[in-house]
Amino acid sequence: MFHLPAFLDAFPALLSGLRVTIELTLLVMPCAVVVALLLALARLYAPRPIANLAMGRVELWRATPLLLQLYWLYYVMPSEFGILLPGLATVAFGLICNVSAFLSENFRAGIASIRAGQWHAGRALGMSEIQAFFRIVMPQAWSRVLPETASMWVELFKETSLVSTLAVADLTYRALALRTENYRTLEVLTALAVAYLVLAYPQAKFCDWLYRRQRVHE
């Protein structure tokens, strides 16, 4: 019933989709980190109205389903605002907005967890606030937010699969397309699951290791 050659043949066909999945992850993550840092800083140090705005932006993107967000951008932006971006750019933008919202919560907590005394100590040495932030606070906060940031990376890697519903030809899209070509549904979908497994498993294990390491350090 399970046809092994069909299963194995599926992998080469999935390769081009894999490229898109990896590219999307590599493109989105650094952008999301930068946006998240800005959001976190705005919530912590900006004047009230801006901090509230940042909070609203984060809450909105955290409390709604990603798929709905992507659909909204994909269909509403061209029809209402006349912004017609390529599909890939639209979903990348959506993913950046979504991932940065979650990351900014993590960053904010990490920065807030550094004792005020550390700021004072840096300032007492004659550093400016910006120097104190980058030289004293950020390095300490970084090691605290690292494990969760890494998990977010794995999350993102998996969540890029949603873009297949918007005709972006990622790994999942290729598999679903292949399924309708050769009707080897079980084999193709299993190959798809295995492909994600092989790629994400080491990443997930790496995250576990980061969490364990952090627990030992603190």
State which residue, 137 or 145, has the beta carbon closest to another protein: 145
By CB under 8 A, residue 76 contacts another protein: yes
Using CB under 8 A, which residues numbered 158 to 187 contact another protein?
158-159, 161-162, 164-165, 172, 176, 179, 185-186
2 vs 84 by CB, closer to another protein: 2
Q: Kindly report the length of the chain.
A: 218
Q: Is 134 or 183 the residue whose CB approaches another protein more closely?
A: 183
Q: Which residue from 145, 146, 125, 149 is spatially nearest to 136, judged by alpha carbons?
A: 125
* Angle in degrees, 0-180, between the axes of helices 138-159 and 4-45, rounded to the nearest 10: 140
With contact defined as beta carbons under 8 Å apart, do 3 and 184 qualify? yes
Binders in 185-214 for another protein, by CB under 8 A: 185-186, 189-190, 192-193, 196-197, 199-201, 204-205
Torsion of the alpha carbons at 111, 65, 154 and 51, rounded to the nearest 10: -20
Which of 49, 96, 53, 90 minimizes the C-alpha distance to 72? 90
Q: Which residues bind another protein (CB under 8 A)?
A: 1-2, 59-60, 63-69, 71-72, 75-76, 79-80, 158-159, 161-162, 164-165, 172, 176, 179, 185-186, 189-190, 192-193, 196-197, 199-201, 204-205
